[in-house]
Structures are given as C-alpha cells and as structure tokens.
Amino acid sequence: MSDTKPTDSNQSSELAGKSRMTDDTLLETHTRTFAKAEGNGEGNLSIPIIATAVFTLLFVFGGIYHSRYSADYDPMVFNPEGAPASLGPAAEGGGIEVKLDGEKLYKRNCVACHQADGQGLPGAFPPLVGSAWVRGEPDRMVAIMLNGLSGSIEVAGNTYNSIMTPFSALLDDDEIAAIATYVRSNPDWGNNADRVSTEKVTELRSAHERGNAWKAEEILELFPLDQ
Ligand code: HEC
C-alpha cells in the first residue's frame, strides 16, 4: 500500500516523457504508415471512383427501370413483365385455335384481382367462377376486358360496385382471345363456354371503341345475361 503512490507517479512521469519524445517521431511514423498504405494500394483513390461509377450506373438503371415499369403506381395496373407485346410470335394455328397461352396471360393480367382460382375477393373483386357474365356469348366478357366496367353488378349472388380498368391498350386481340378462352373453358372452374376467336375480339374492339369504362346498365342492355 505504501509504495502505491511512488509507482503511480513513476508511471505518469514515464508517460509524460514518452509523449514529449513522440512529438518528433509522430510525423515520421505517420509518413511511414502512409507510404506503406500507398505502396499496398490502400487509400488509393481509384477504388472510390469505381464504386462511384458503379453506384451511378445502378442509380441510372434503377431510375429508367422504375419509370418504365412502375406504371405510376396505379393500383389498377398489374403488369409485372412490362409490355405484353414482348410475348413473342404467336404460334401457328387457324380458325378458332387459340394462339397464345391463356393461363399465363391470365396470371399476368387478371390474377391480382380475380385471383388464381378465379374466385375473386369477397366484397372487392367478383368471381369468374360461376359467373353468368362469363357464360353464354363471349361478347359481354370480351367487351368488358376491352373497355373496363363500372357500377353496381351482381355476380353469383353477391353485389359488387367497383371499377375494372380497360385492357384495350395493354393487350392485343390474340391475347384477349386467349385469356377469354382460358376463363370461359376452364374445367377446373366449372366453365365450359365456347372458345373465343381473335376475329371476334377484333370485331368487338372496332365496334365498341370508347374512352371510358362501360356502365353496368349499358353493357347489360347490349349483351343481356342469359340466366
Ligand atoms: C384491378 C383489378 C382488376 C383486374 C386486373 C381485372 N379485373 Fe375484371 N373486374 C374487376 C372489378 C372490380 C370488376 C367489377 C366492376 C364493377 O363492380 O362494376 C370486374 C369485372 C369483371 C367481369 C364481369 C364480372 C364477373 O365477375 O364475371 C369479368 C368477366 C372480368 N372482370 C374479367 C377480367 C379479366 C379476364 C381480366 C384480365 C384481363 C380482368 N377482369 C382483370 C377488377 C379487375
């Protein structure tokens, strides 16, 4: 206990001595350290420049990608793959043969609302299973796909009052025919209505070009439900 104090003061005077001495050597030490770092390539400016370039490119790419595919965050748009025109050439097929994969196109364009099982979402999106709107002549369904639909409707015993946005600008006639056929003749959904030809879609598209969605009454007057 008695020799604690002298030890403390010895140590502090030693440290003080050291720090006084390092004043001169400090610069030298730093010079050596930096020289070594440069020699190793550490602290080399070219790495941050490359990193900056990479991040700039990523940023530009992200901006372009975003502005091209975000669809303005429109809640009514579900088109994760971008332009449907990039689907590639339609396979050969004549008459009422469907030229494209309707299931794939359905999953890409309709599934967000009407769901993979075609049951829709209660209170929000009507089902395509057990729907009188889907059965019978294809005109009504195709016209809805082309121009959208709004207003109060009854589907399979439930009432919906919402808006479906048009697909006329997003899908071509082959694609609409393929989706309509898939929905109308899907045995898993209990649907077995006729296939839909591309010609039928072309005909309906030019006959019913319009700038706004169908009102429920309008479409039912043109294409009544066959109950
Ligand atoms: C953004 C959501 C949304 C998407 C995507 C969508 N629909 Fe609809 N669809 C609706 C809504 C909402 C209604 C009901 C509109 C109303 O209440 O007047 C509807 C109604 C319908 C109807 C008539 C009612 C029924 O259930 O039979 C059909 C047929 C239909 N849609 C087919 C399609 C097909 C095919 C696609 C894909 C090309 C599609 N929809 C994509 C929301 C959507």
Summarised one tens digit per residue, pLDDT across range 32-77 is 777 766 555 555 566 788 899 999 999 999 999 988 877 677 666 6
Cα distances from 208 to residues 146, 168, 205, 219, 222, in angstroms, run 9, 11, 6, 11, 11
Q: Is residue 81 part of a domain?
A: no
Q: Whose CA is nearest to atom 5 of ligand 1?
A: 110
137 and 64, same structural domain?
A: no
Q: For residue 136, what is the DSSP state? A: S
| Mean pLDDT taken over the chain | 82
Instruction: Establish if 116 belongs to a structural domain.
Output: yes
172 and 180 in contact (C-beta within 8 Å)?
no
- 134 lies in some domain: yes
- What's the predicted TM-score (pTM) here? 0.65
- Taking the centre of ligand 1 as the mean of its atom positions, its distance from the CA of residue 125, in whole angstroms, is 7
Q: Is the CB of 144 under 6 A from ligand 1?
A: yes
- Please check whether residues 36 and 142 belong to one and the same domain: no
> What is the count of structural domains for the chain?
2
**pLDDT in the model for residue 86:** 40
CATH number, domain at 110? 1.10.760.10
Q: Which of 43, 72, 101 is the last residue of a domain?
A: 72
Longest Cα separation, the chain: 111
Ligand 1 binding pocket includes 115 (Cβ within 6 Å): no
Q: Which domain holds residue 191?
A: 93-222
In terms of pLDDT, which residue wins out, 214 or 1? 214
13 and 102 part of one domain: no
